[in-house]
Amino acid sequence: MLPPAQTRSRSFEMADIEGPVLIDPWDKDGLALDRLDPLPALPFRYPDGWMRPIELRILYTLARRSAGPVLEVGSWIGRSSSAIAAGLRDGVCDPKPVYDIIDFGPCSAAEWQQRFGQKLNIEMGGGHVAAAVLHPGGSMAVLIDNMRRNDLLGHVTSIIRGDVLETPLGRRYGMIFCDAVHGEVEAKRTMPAIAALAAERALFVFDDVTTEAFADTICSYLKPVRRFLLSGKDTYGKLLVVEHHAPAAPAKPAGSAPRPVPSLETARQRRAAAGAIWRDTFAAHGIERSVILASTFRSGSTYVSSLLAANGLPGLSHERFADAWRHIVDPPGEAFGAFLNTALSDAHGGCFATKLMWPHLARLAEATGHGRDEAADLGALFRPARWIQVCRADKVAQAVSFWRAKMTGRWQVYATEAEPEPEYDFLAIRNALHEIELGDRLWDDFFARAGIEPLRVTYEALVADLPGGLSELLSALGLPAEVPAERVGLRRQRDSYSKALQERFLGDFYRV
Ligand SMILES: C[S@@+](CC[C@H](N)C(=O)[O-])C[C@H]1O[C@@H](n2cnc3c(N)ncnc32)[C@H](O)[C@@H]1O
């Protein structure tokens, strides 16, 4: 257990601050002001702003030791940014850390008033504020000029004009300087988003934290290991430095633990009882053969089955064995018969057509007493059968789609309204990815053990050449293939949010 975070405050005098280079700036009492690096001079002076030299010196010292990525929220025209960029320039990291900057970057008096709820005051900041806002391109253009003329622009990775609350930042940062939280209301509004941008271990620096109580408020959104509040003789412009450590939660296992293996005798009894019910029900419906579309969730199987339905092979979009798990009982009896009866009810022409998703086959196997080794027996239950296996090559896209459908309950969509956007959850998407990858692997295992050679359809390949791919599929199934119907009523659910989730997930997985 880490000790509770404690604030160490000290007064300082500029004269106290001299010290060696690249030593640990922390001591047991907090940030050691006598160990800060000297602030380097720049070709042009540090831009106008509100930060005092001691604060710039702290930023410079911490940035110089940071491995990044570094984020600055609230750069204004670059006073603090210059200290951070110079610290990164003079640090020992190779390659140089990423440094992203975000600011509202107001460009007009009207925008200023809209953002801050007050008129742009020509006198504010000795006149530099209005000058920057009214400069062509607004304060961001001034920031870029200021960084460029001090030869620091090359140490900035990206400059984003916007609200940090509305900007999807794809990185997790090792150092975050925030000059955009100045009171309880702003803290409540902004801190959850700022905290969520931190890497597992991160150093936060906040400007304008003027009381211990406000430091407590800010820390309540973080996982502080230690913290330091700079207290000067004046009360304005204080800096809070927080070391934050939020260990990642261990990955939740996908799904539940395996159930115990039934005894040989129990499995034999299930096979006998379920087999008899199965044969009777198939006979009662006059079923002589089956077509089975085998897949995992969100592989494009609904699209493929809709195409087949439009071309004379209906029935494959129904997951008729989704409730098989309810029938893992000893011995299988009437309820299992009724379940099977419903599953077969719309079979026609002696042909039973169904979609069978991976977990549903596994539950059906349990209900009918078939272990992995009895795959051939299980497959034979469907009489002579044509198996079609639909896979999606882009597993991350499939995992995102699967997770999103689980979160929203929207599995197939025919209307045109926008898709809901559930909040990104790295571990849940990773679990979804495991689940579908294992599903495909277990289908291959089942086919190999059962001696079945399915007709394999890759969703992306089919979509890339729909007329050709569809004709080929229909001919393989013995259906007319000359002028296939290519239109189905489904709407593609993939949107820019899916793309953003995939990118974010891949970026995060890069660092796992
Ligand atoms: C006090 S100024 C920053 C001063 C600057 N750090 C310096 O050294 O001069 C605060 C800045 O935060 C920006 N800001 C406030 N809230 C923000 C938000 N939610 N997203 C992006 N920028 C924000 C404002 O546009 C403003 O430029």
- Quickly state the pLDDT bin for 353 (edges 50, 70, 90): very high
Q: Which residue, 115, 44, 32, 105, is CA-closest to 72?
A: 105
Q: Does 267 sit in the ligand 1 pocket, CB within 6 Å?
A: no
- The residues that bridge with 295 in the sheet, in sequence order, are 357, 390
Distance in Å, CA 7 to ligand 1 centroid? 25
- Quickly state the pLDDT bin for 411 (edges 50, 70, 90): low
pLDDT of residue 144: 97
pLDDT of residue 8: 40
Distance in Å, CA 438 to ligand 1 centroid? 47
The protein residue whose alpha carbon is closest to atom 22 in ligand 1 is 103
pLDDT of residue 9: 37
Q: What is the mean pLDDT of residues 341-354?
A: 92
Residues 300, 444 within the same domain: yes
Q: Could you tell me if residue 3 is inside a domain?
A: no
Residues 237, 302 within the same domain: no
Distance in Å, CA 214 to ligand 1 centroid? 18
Residues 235, 323 within the same domain: no
| Percent of the chain at pLDDT exceeding 90 | 66
pLDDT of residue 249: 66
* Domain with 328 in it: 264-510
Distance in Å, CA 76 to ligand 1 centroid? 5
- The CA-atom distances, in angstroms, between 282 and each of 345, 352, 370 are 10, 9, 18
Q: Does 107 sit in the ligand 1 pocket, CB within 6 Å?
A: no
Distance in Å, CA 73 to ligand 1 centroid? 6
The protein residue whose alpha carbon is closest to atom 18 in ligand 1 is 163
Residues 175, 291 within the same domain: no
Q: Is 481 left (phi over 0), alpha (psi -120 to 50) or beta?
A: alpha
Q: Does 187 sit in the ligand 1 pocket, CB within 6 Å?
A: no
pLDDT of residue 78: 97
Q: Is 176 left (phi over 0), alpha (psi -120 to 50) or beta?
A: beta
- The residues that bridge with 242 in the sheet, in sequence order, are 204, 227
Q: Could you tell me if residue 13 is inside a domain?
A: no
**Strand duo 7-10 + 224-230: pairing:** parallel
- Here the tokens at position 402 are 């699967």
pLDDT of residue 301: 92
Find the CATH number of the domain harbouring 335.
3.40.50.300
Q: Does 164 sit in the ligand 1 pocket, CB within 6 Å?
A: yes
**Strand duo 239-245 + 224-230: pairing:** antiparallel
Residues 218, 190 within the same domain: yes
- Atom number, ligand 1, closest to the C-alpha of residue 50: 9
- Quickly state the pLDDT bin for 24 (edges 50, 70, 90): confident
Distance in Å, CA 106 to ligand 1 centroid? 10
Q: Could you tell me if residue 389 is inside a domain?
A: yes
Residues 381, 233 within the same domain: no
pLDDT at 233 over 70: no
Containing H/E element for 202?
strand 198-207
Q: Which residue, 111, 363, 387, is CA-closest to 120?
A: 111
The protein residue whose alpha carbon is closest to atom 9 in ligand 1 is 49
Distance in Å, CA 181 to ligand 1 centroid? 9
141-155, 329-343, 450-464, 491-505: the lowest-pLDDT one: 491-505
Q: Which residue, 258, 367, 355, 380, is CA-closest to 305?
A: 355
| Percent of the chain at pLDDT exceeding 70 | 89
Q: Could you tell me if residue 380 is inside a domain?
A: yes
Amino acid at 404: R
Distance in Å, CA 102 to ligand 1 centroid? 8
Residues 274, 238 within the same domain: no
pLDDT of residue 232: 57
Q: Which residue, 388, 394, 392, is CA-closest to 473?
A: 388
pLDDT at 74 over 60: yes
Give the mean pLDDT of the chain.
Answer: 87
- Measured between its terminal Cα atoms, the distance across the chain in Å is 24
Distance in Å, CA 121 to ligand 1 centroid? 17
- Atom number, ligand 1, closest to the C-alpha of residue 139: 27
- Quickly state the pLDDT bin for 7 (edges 50, 70, 90): very low
Find the CATH number of the domain harbouring 232.
3.40.50.150
d(CA 486, CA 488): 7
254-263, 287-296, 371-380: the lowest-pLDDT one: 254-263
pLDDT of residue 20: 35
Number of domains in the chain: 2
The protein residue whose alpha carbon is closest to atom 25 in ligand 1 is 104
The protein residue whose alpha carbon is closest to atom 6 in ligand 1 is 75
- Atom number, ligand 1, closest to the C-alpha of residue 207: 6
Residue listed under structure tokens 């800060």? 36
Alpha carbons within 13 angstroms on the beta-carbon side of residue 270 total: 21
Q: Could you tell me if residue 256 is inside a domain?
A: no
- The CA-atom distances, in angstroms, between 251 and each of 54, 139, 199, 254, 401 are 42, 43, 17, 9, 20
Residues 381, 238 within the same domain: no
Residues 194, 296 within the same domain: no
Residues 286, 225 within the same domain: no
Q: Could you tell me if residue 69 is inside a domain?
A: yes
Q: Does 103 sit in the ligand 1 pocket, CB within 6 Å?
A: yes
Residues 345, 477 within the same domain: yes
Pocket residue to mutate for ligand 1, from 71, 143, 179, 205, most atoms within 8 A of Cβ: 179
pLDDT at 11 over 50: no
pLDDT of residue 495: 74
Q: Does 73 sit in the ligand 1 pocket, CB within 6 Å?
A: yes
- Quickly state the pLDDT bin for 106 (edges 50, 70, 90): very high
Q: Could you tell me if residue 423 is inside a domain?
A: yes
pLDDT of residue 494: 67
Residues 387, 501 within the same domain: yes
Q: Could you tell me if residue 12 is inside a domain?
A: no
Top-confidence residue, 287 or 34: 287
* 371, 365 Cβ separation under 8 angstroms: yes
| Tens digit of each residue's pLDDT (9 = 90 or more) over 458-506 | 999 999 999 999 999 999 998 887 777 777 655 566 678 889 999 999 9
Top-confidence residue, 71 or 253: 71
Q: Which of 47-56, 69-78, 488-497 has the highest mean pLDDT?
A: 69-78
pLDDT of residue 278: 96
Q: What is the mean pLDDT of residues 363-372?
A: 94
- Atom number, ligand 1, closest to the C-alpha of residue 49: 9
pLDDT of residue 488: 65
The protein residue whose alpha carbon is closest to atom 13 in ligand 1 is 74
